[in-house]
Amino acid sequence: MANIKLEGLRHSYADNPKNDEDWALKQIDLEWEDGGAYALLGPSGCGKTTLLNIISGLLQPSHGSIKFDDLEVNQISTDKRDIAQIFQFPVVYDTMSVYDNLAFPLRNLGLSEEKVNERVTEIAQLVELTSILTSRASGLTAGDKQKISLGRGLVRTKVNAILFDEPLTVIDPHLKWQLRSKLKKLHKLLNRTMIYVTHDQIEALTFADKVVVMNFGEVLQIGTPVELFEKPKHTFVGHFIGSPGMNILPCKLDGDNTKIGQYIIETASQVTQNHKGKNLEIGVRPEFIKFSDDGLPVSIVKVSNVGHAQIVETSFEGHKIKLIIDEDVVLPSNNVHLSFNKEKTYLYVDSWLV
């Protein structure tokens, strides 16, 4: 087990990277604490798999270092890094039994059959494969095969981290839910560093204690699910997390006031004159807006009932503003105004939280 530190990491698949877009990873400085349950969350193409493959050693970064407990491992091969990696598609030996699949990494290490048996029995119980240990892997469902991959990842006792690269993509929705809860339980039981890559915010937020949000080859924020919800550091995080995501509205400075159109909007951010001339936006989540007697005048465009609440889409000078209100709130029919909860309304300068 180890702390994993990434310092000044950059990676390009191009031979001669020239533009920003040539870098799959632009600049990553990140520490994964020993025993943490992390999710690496971001849209397709943002660099998640590249980052994972650099940690496991499948890929050499163009720049920067990877350290396990302060020991640089850049030159250490994948098999010597003691990392278990579970991929999107289960990697199993179809001709072998479930038992032999689980035993394979241990036999490779030269363990006695007695020790192999002890460990395989224990892991099979954890991932619920005991009843099919003697079956051949070829006839099993995708879910059972992914459990084998998972078991193989857990079977070695000496593992620095377990990396999951979208492991539930090929699993049907019901089993997905079960496996996800199982992973969370396994983390509590085994206390190993786990990094779970996904583009699905629900998967990330239910699995992880800390979520690392990536986009454009960069880390935009690391935080607990609550931190990401309550105080997004970047407009992308605000918009990507939440359903619906944060409202991001262009604004301007007028003296010390922030204004949307001609209307002063108070925020929790400290405004300074240095912000003048930059791209300024106000971010506020739909949960922190309500109808009021005065405030920003809007028109109601659409109302969706989502069972326990209503999502109301309004419009101000062509900008959409969504709010979530209780299901029993009666919507105003004319003179519709919105007020924002000041403590939860933030100013963003060039997309970053002030």
Least separation in angstroms between residue 208's CB and ligand ATP is 16
Integer Cα distance of 43 and 46 in angstroms: 6
Least separation in angstroms between residue 105's CB and ligand ATP is 25
Integer Cα distance of 238 and 244 in angstroms: 10
| Nearer Cβ to ligand ATP (100/218) | 218
| Nearer Cβ to ligand ATP (13/352) | 13
Our finding on whether 153 is near ligand ATP (CB under 6 A) is no
Helix, coil or strand: residue 129: coil
Secondary structure, 3-state, 188-256: HHHCCCEEEEECCHHHHHHHCCEEEEEECCEEEEEECHHHHHHCCCEHHHHHHCCCCCCEEEECEEECC
Least separation in angstroms between residue 178's CB and ligand ATP is 23
Q: Which span (41-49, 121-129, 168-176, 281-289) binds ligand ATP, by CB under 6 A?
A: 41-49
Q: Which span (39-47, 180-188, 263-271, 293-301) binds ligand ATP, by CB under 6 A?
A: 39-47
Stretch 172-211 residues interacting with ligand ATP (CB under 6 A): 199
Our finding on whether 47 is near ligand ATP (CB under 6 A) is yes
Least separation in angstroms between residue 59's CB and ligand ATP is 9
Our finding on whether 352 is near ligand ATP (CB under 6 A) is no
| Nearer Cβ to ligand ATP (11/275) | 11
Residues in CB range of 44: below 8 A, 6 or more apart: 199
Stretch 273-302 residues interacting with ligand ATP (CB under 6 A): none
What strands, in cross-sheet order, belong to the sheet with 252-254?
252-254, 257-260, 263-264
| Nearer Cβ to ligand ATP (37/214) | 214
Integer Cα distance of 106 and 153 in angstroms: 11
Our finding on whether 134 is near ligand ATP (CB under 6 A) is no
Q: What are phi and psi of 335, to 5 degrees?
A: 50, 55
Integer Cα distance of 9 and 3 in angstroms: 16
Q: What are phi and psi of 49, to 5 degrees?
A: -65, -40
Least separation in angstroms between residue 45's CB and ligand ATP is 4
Least separation in angstroms between residue 308's CB and ligand ATP is 31
Q: What is the dihedral of CA 252, 258, 261, 265, to 10 degrees?
A: 160
Stretch 5-24 residues interacting with ligand ATP (CB under 6 A): 13, 24
Residues in CB range of 268: below 8 A, 6 or more apart: 342, 343, 344, 345, 346
What is the identity of the amino acid at 100? Answer: D
Which residues is 299 bridged to in the sheet? 315
Helix, coil or strand: residue 261: coil
| Nearer Cβ to ligand ATP (48/145) | 48
Structure tokens, 183: 């992973």
Among 4, 46, 163, 251, binds ligand ATP (CB under 6 A): 46
Our finding on whether 50 is near ligand ATP (CB under 6 A) is yes
Our finding on whether 344 is near ligand ATP (CB under 6 A) is no
On whether the CB atoms of residues 224 and 210 are closer than 8 A, the answer is yes
Environment class of 267 (CB within 10 Å of its CB; exposed 0-12, middle 13-18, buried 19+): buried
Q: Which span (43-51, 131-139, 154-162, 304-312) binds ligand ATP, by CB under 6 A?
A: 43-51
Least separation in angstroms between residue 203's CB and ligand ATP is 12
Least separation in angstroms between residue 26's CB and ligand ATP is 11
Among 48, 180, 192, 275, binds ligand ATP (CB under 6 A): 48
| Nearer Cβ to ligand ATP (50/101) | 50
Our finding on whether 28 is near ligand ATP (CB under 6 A) is no
Residues that bind ligand ATP (CB under 6 A): 13, 24, 42, 44-50, 199
